[in-house]
Amino acid sequence: MDRLSIAHIDCDAFYAAIEKRDNPELADKPVIIGGGRRGVVSTACYVARIRGVRSAMPMFKALQACPDAIVIRPDMEKYSRIGRQIRELMLELTPLVEPLSIDEAFLDLSGTRRLHGGLPPVEVLARFAARIERELRLSISIGLSYCKFLAKIASDMEKPRGFSVVGETEALSFLRDQDVSIIWGVGRVMRTNLARDGVERIGKLQELGEAELMRRYGVTGQRLYRLSRGQDDRSVSPDGAAKSISAETTFNTDLAGRHELAAALRRLSEKVSLRLKDKHLAGQTITLKLKTTDFKTRTRNRTLPDPTQLADRIFSAGLMMMEKELDGTYFRLIGIGASTLQSDENADPEDLVDVAAAKRARAERAIDGLRGRYGNEAVFLGLTFPWADKKNRDR
């Protein structure tokens, strides 16, 4: 146990826990963060979870299960600020901190013994959990292992206030009974394919050879082979926080008009979305960049309640920020980016109140499906673009 040094730390019911902390009257009450324009649960506190409320659940269903729940609209600025505080404290443990979202990170504590007065990582982490509770009055769950894959799974085992350790000797037996969907990159489609082939538990993958898995599932098969056996050599990369996926364009002639700028923004949003989807990533912070004719750069950020990889959501967030900047200034460049990158497993819960947005999201997914079958270019050419008509009308 003393040699294990890769940890995954995840705050428990982060948004809800912050609201409870800041308003003690809520302590014993079922609290749901979400609502507003979007009709889904973003985070439910553990009281609400016991009553059957889950993340990404439609709000009306959540309120059927728990009619006396207190619904609070997310205050993303506050949550980001506290997320940064926690990250600062993590960085006191090791410089190797790789954030996955505002309340979650991998830490590599190897080689930090001297820094911690001879304490092994397992003890350093236990003290860290106590410190977060004492100083920030929030609780975390920790998974400790020898690789990222198992650390991440472990942190989820005993939530809230969990601390799970998975060593090399128990990796195979630990994984055997787990559902294949816990494997990174196994989404709904892959899970269905695996189920069709009679593979539901990881143990089944452990029985199959690498060549067989690759024959069946291509490159993914190789990952399934390795991860099912607890083999994961991805390192904890501390620049994760700064990592973003973005696209920008410099205009031939400077632009000030809403429609032209929005058209460019839409194209760039699609580019960013495509790259996120290809990498199974989603971003929770959207950044708009504008450069004026006299080379001044304006950068605006917006943190979303849920990570996204959809062009429609990236564009909407960018457009909202862009509209505030339209004051007749001419711009020579526009760019849009997604950061606070994480795996796409929790991305884009269905929007039930904003029916039009949900429809656009479904259309986008249908287009993605076609693109997968017929190639990117073919489908992009057919994509209708609402601003194009208006732009032409203006002229």
- Contact positions toward Mg ion, by CB under 5 A? 10-11, 14, 103
Q: Which lies closer to Mg ion via its Cβ, residue 14 or residue 149?
A: 14
CB of 241 to Mg ion, least distance (A): 16
Catalytic residue among 19, 98, 104, 270: 104
- Strands of the 297-308 sheet, one edge to the other: 245-255, 331-343, 281-292, 297-308
Can you tell me the distance from the alpha carbon of 108 to that of 236, in angstroms, rounded to the nearest whole number?
6
Q: Which lies closer to Mg ion via its Cβ, residue 48 or residue 265?
A: 48
Can you tell me the distance from the alpha carbon of 31 to that of 73, in angstroms, rounded to the nearest whole number?
11
- Tokens for 270, please give them: 């699609």
Q: Which lies closer to Mg ion via its Cβ, residue 110 or residue 346?
A: 346
CB of 140 to Mg ion, least distance (A): 8
Q: Which lies closer to Mg ion via its Cβ, residue 11 or residue 317?
A: 11
The region, left, alpha or beta by phi > 0 then psi within -120 to 50, assigned to residue 111 is left
CB of 15 to Mg ion, least distance (A): 9
CB of 30 to Mg ion, least distance (A): 18
CB of 14 to Mg ion, least distance (A): 5
The region, left, alpha or beta by phi > 0 then psi within -120 to 50, assigned to residue 117 is left
Q: Which lies closer to Mg ion via its Cβ, residue 14 or residue 79?
A: 14
CB of 106 to Mg ion, least distance (A): 13
Q: How far is CA 236 from the centre of its chain?
A: 17
Q: Which lies closer to Mg ion via its Cβ, residue 308 or residue 342?
A: 342
The vertex-160 CA angle with 157 and 165, nearest 5°, equals 40
Query: Hey, is 320 helix, strand or coil?
Result: helix
- Phi, psi (deg, nearest 5) at residue 40: -130, 160
Q: How many CB atoms lie within 10 A of CB 73?
A: 13
Can you tell me the distance from the alpha carbon of 286 to that of 300, in angstroms, rounded to the nearest whole number?
8
Can you tell me the distance from the alpha carbon of 351 to that of 52, in angstroms, rounded to the nearest whole number?
20
Q: Which lies closer to Mg ion via its Cβ, residue 83 or residue 121?
A: 83
104 in active site:
yes
**What Cα–Cα distance (Å) separates residue 250 from each residue in 223, 254, 275, 300?**
39, 9, 20, 18
Residues 177 and 200 sit within 8 Å (Cβ to Cβ): no
CB of 129 to Mg ion, least distance (A): 14
Beta strands in 222-277 (DSSP E): 245-255
b/e 260-281 (16+ beta carbons within 10 angstroms → b): bbbbbbbbbbbbbbbebbeebb
Q: Which residues are catalytic?
A: 104
